[in-house]
Chains A and B, each alone.
Chain A
Amino acid sequence: MNRVTLVRLCVIAGSVLAVEAMCRFGVINRLTLLPPSEMATYLLHLLVSGEINQAMIQTFSNVAIAFVLSVVFGFVLGAMIHAIPRLRRACDPFLASYYSVPIFVFYPLFVSLFGLNRWPLIMIGFVFAIAAMVIATLNGLDRVPPVLLKLARVHRMSRSAEVLRVVLPAAGPYLFTGGKLALAYSFIGVLAGEFILSGGGLGYAIAYAYDAFDNRTMYALMLFVLIVVTAINSALFIWEQRLLRRRGRG
């Protein structure tokens, strides 16, 4: 473990301990915030008792579907836009301003299109995430060094071999970043959708606990979401750094 990581962990641990102390000594009201140790204990109870299993399954499966759809369709769409310059000129302004559109306003439209089931939420996550993947794909394909495309021709590669053996690996770091962002956006889209618009899932469970003044459940679930998202992002970050180090960019 290097010094920066150690300092970072110390800062986080110190902050948690400070919050714990302030809650224990009454500086922070229990109605406002629970001590982190109590959140963790109650989260353990929720996990062991299986009370949130259904919500977990619903949320994580929705996120997974939204993520896979956004990565696959985002990549295909990005590759298409990259291949057709006229289409790109037409799409550029939309992509540039995409995240200024409040995606959640489309929920009623998704309900009328897909019905009252999991799909409107998945679509929120998907629509929220796909632009990140499209933009990352365009960035990646733009940055494939032309000399590598010439190399593929020198090796008399077919178009499919060129894409699989040269273009995709060369664009890999950008596609990876796109995937990382798509996962984060899928989480945000699905969880926020559940929070506001759904009758199930972790987002809904947090909202329900909040409405019922059930601070223990609310904070335990918030801690759970935080731990899961941080763990996934950290794992992806470490993986990404390892890949970039190989290419001398880490």
Chain B
Amino acid sequence: MDVVGYSLKEEEIKEIVSKLEAFRSSLFLDLVVLMDDGGRLIAYSPYVDGQRPIAYRVAVVGAATVGAVDQLESIISSKRHMFFAGTDKNMYIHVISPKFLLASVFSHKVPLGSVKLFKEKLSKDLASILDKALSRMEKKVIRFEDIAL
């Protein structure tokens, strides 16, 4: 059975969101998403309700793409990051630890080099929080009878 091997406290998620927000606003990025390797959405910026479905999709598809590209690993030998150049926007996904991934969405006006440079610092900042989370297991319990379905 898949057990989520980490647990983030409310205050840690707030701290992560504020770090993502600082990263996003300083580089003028459109969207930053932190997810785990299974595509579970952890945090995103800008942290507004309208962005949640988009962030959720980025998390699932981003992690699935990294998972699928793993199958090409012997050919391209690069699982640390992926870059997608779109017509209007770009997406850069990098693996910040074996368990966690960060996706940044930005316009062509933003140089990829600056995203690569500043994500290093962000990764280090997030590492201490995520390492602590990895040492805890998820214990949230919701029963079927609790769900409004």
Mutual binders A and B: no
Chain A residues proximal to chain B, CB less than 8 Å: none
Chain B residues proximal to chain A, CB less than 8 Å: none
